[in-house]
Amino acid sequence: MPAVARRPPGPPLRFLIGNFPLFSPDPLAVFTRWAREFGDVFYYRAGWIEVYFLNHPSLIESVLVSQSQNFAKDKVIQNSRWFLGEGLLTSEGSGWLRERRLCQPAFHRERMASYGHTMAAYTEDMLATWQDAEVRDIHQEMMQLTMRIVAKVLFGVEVKEDTERVAAALNVLMRHTSGGRMILPPILRHLPVPALMRVKRAVRELDEMVNRIIQQRRVSGEDTGDLLSMLMAARDEDGSGMTDRQLRDEILTFLLAGHETTAVSLSWTWYLLSEHPEVGGKLREEFSQVLGGRTPQLEDLPRLPYTDKVVKESMRLYPPAWSLARTTVKEMELAGYPLPVGSNVVMSPWIMHRDPRFFEQPERFNPDRWTTDAAQRLPKFAYFPFGGGPRLCIGASFAMMEANLLLAAIAQRFQLRLVPGHPVAALPSITLRPRHGMRMSLSRNITKSPIESNQRKD
Ligand code: HEM
């Protein structure tokens, strides 16, 4: 008798259409409910798209690491090729491997050390514009700061004048790739509807900036050893270099992947600190012992362990990449279920990071959990904000260093409080943005001025 294909448990499927959790007002709540109800793996179908949702570290390890050769990036990433092109995030196979090797040196320890100075200097630059008792959208501030940083350290350009336009373009793109729109068939993007025209305009806006970066470097002909120089110096076996289109895809990928996620992570950190003033107090104690008002530099980070725990804990509760997904390229079996070619597999840091099997009182913001025995015993993929396996985030160390430095530099000088009544909700798009931004009031801490403290006695 032929084996009967079995499917994991899951929500009842509505005739023909199935389920559309991404179209619900709160997709994260729906996925969490299903995960708690159906266990390590559940199945649902959104129209013609079949989804296997994995909720156990060992299954996630299988997909990202031990059986990663059976998977390609998922439909959302494939769909985003129309604006991201074929950069490191979206490419596959031998082309991806070549790009990864090419870009890796930009993230080596020695190079990263030089990035720390720019991170600290640009943060000071931003802080110089902040006034006591002002209200600002902190999410926009974080986006602009991290964008300036990544453009400067990887591509040697100052984009201060462009940040607002790029942020506006990104807002359009992120809204377009949020909720159910993530899975709409690519053909629909050719419809002449106003929303799509806005998306096309946004892409043109980004293209303009990226092309300017390429042209500036072509004209200067400089080799500064940054990522742009590495990309421009790369040669194929036949001796040909990257085309402008290839360069554009890679630069855009790094500009977007290299600032949005870190900014999102910091925005949620400010929110959590505003809700938990006692954590802010402990942070300031650490700063006064280690920094004493001085601008933090890379060398200070090993002596700021509490700051690091705050960043880790914030990424647990609000992982900027809230879901990772893959499509099977080979028929296979997973958790005892047969997966045909083309099956979609989803793994969510949001769900795993709040799983009570692995985290005690999972909803509680408790940075100290990271120094408990339980944290030492965590299975590898119970916490995976940067993914894992061959497609592990290439910027993971960059992002941790940046989040720690920026948090220390800013929280040492200001306390940020959410404006009463400002709505806070997560927008599950490619990243987990605060849907309504993050309006916060600033109050300056009374510390020695950095100039005073930087005058060290030798
Ligand atoms: C808190 C900040 C960040 C988070 C949470 C994050 C998260 C991730 C995750 C989860 C992936 C893997 C996606 C998958 O497997 O499908 C990824 C890939 C990637 N990230 Fe990050 N990222 C962050 C910061 C950065 C930074 C700062 C850069 C660059 C400067 C960067 C560049 C990339 C690139 C290029 C990839 C694709 C790598 C590949 O496929 O080889 N990311 N990121």
Residue 396 Cα, ligand 1 centroid: separation in angstroms? Answer: 7
Q: Residues 428-457: what's their mean pLDDT?
A: 76
User: What is the model's pLDDT at position 21?
Assistant: 77
Per-residue pLDDT tens digits for 92-104: 999 999 999 999 9
Give the percent of the chain with pLDDT over 70.
Answer: 91
In a domain, 359, yes or no: yes
Which of 7-16, 69-78, 150-159, 415-424 is most confident? 415-424
Number of structural domains the chain divides into: 1
Atom of ligand 1 nearest to the CA of 324: 16
pTM of the model: 0.92
The pLDDT of residue 224: 86
| CA 451 to ligand 1 center in whole angstroms | 35
12 in a structural domain: no
Pocket test for ligand 1, best of 393, 402, 431, 432 (most atoms within 8 A of CB): 393
Q: What is the arithmetic mean of pLDDT over 55-75?
A: 96
Query: Ligand 1 centre and the CA of 348: distance in Å?
Result: 15
pLDDT of residue 178: 57
5 domain-assigned:
no
Closest ligand 1 atom to residue 96 Cα is: 41
Looking at the CA of residue 87, tell me the nearest atom of ligand 1: 35
Average pLDDT over residues 242-255: 91
Where does ligand 1 bind, in terms of residues with CB under 6 Å?
88-89, 100, 150, 253-254, 257-258, 261-262, 265, 320-321, 324, 385-387, 391, 393-395, 398-399
Residue 284: inside a domain: yes
Q: Report if residue 401 sits inside a domain.
A: yes
Q: Is the pLDDT of residue 156 over 80?
A: yes
Is 442's pLDDT higher than 90?
Answer: yes
The predicted structure's pLDDT at residue 183: 57
Confidence of residue 18 (pLDDT cuts 50, 70, 90): low
Q: Which atom of ligand 1 is nearest to the CA of 400?
A: 1
Mean pLDDT of the chain: 89
Q: Which domain holds residue 370?
A: 21-454
Q: What does the alpha-carbon distance between residue 117 and residue 412 come to, in Å, rounded to a whole number?
A: 17
Residue 324 Cα to ligand 1 midpoint, Å, equals 11
Among 16-20, 35-39, 78-82, 194-198, the least confident range:
16-20
Each residue's pLDDT tens digit, 168-182: 888 787 777 655 555
The protein residue with its alpha carbon nearest to ligand 1, atom 9, reads: 386
Which CATH number goes with the domain that contains 318? 1.10.630.10
Residue 408 · residue 445 · CB < 8 Å: no
Residue 450 inside a domain? The answer is yes
Give the pLDDT score at 4: 47
The pLDDT of residue 188 is above 70: no
Please indicate, yes or no, if residue 3 is contained in any of the structural domains. Answer: no
Query: Has residue 6 been placed in a domain?
Result: no
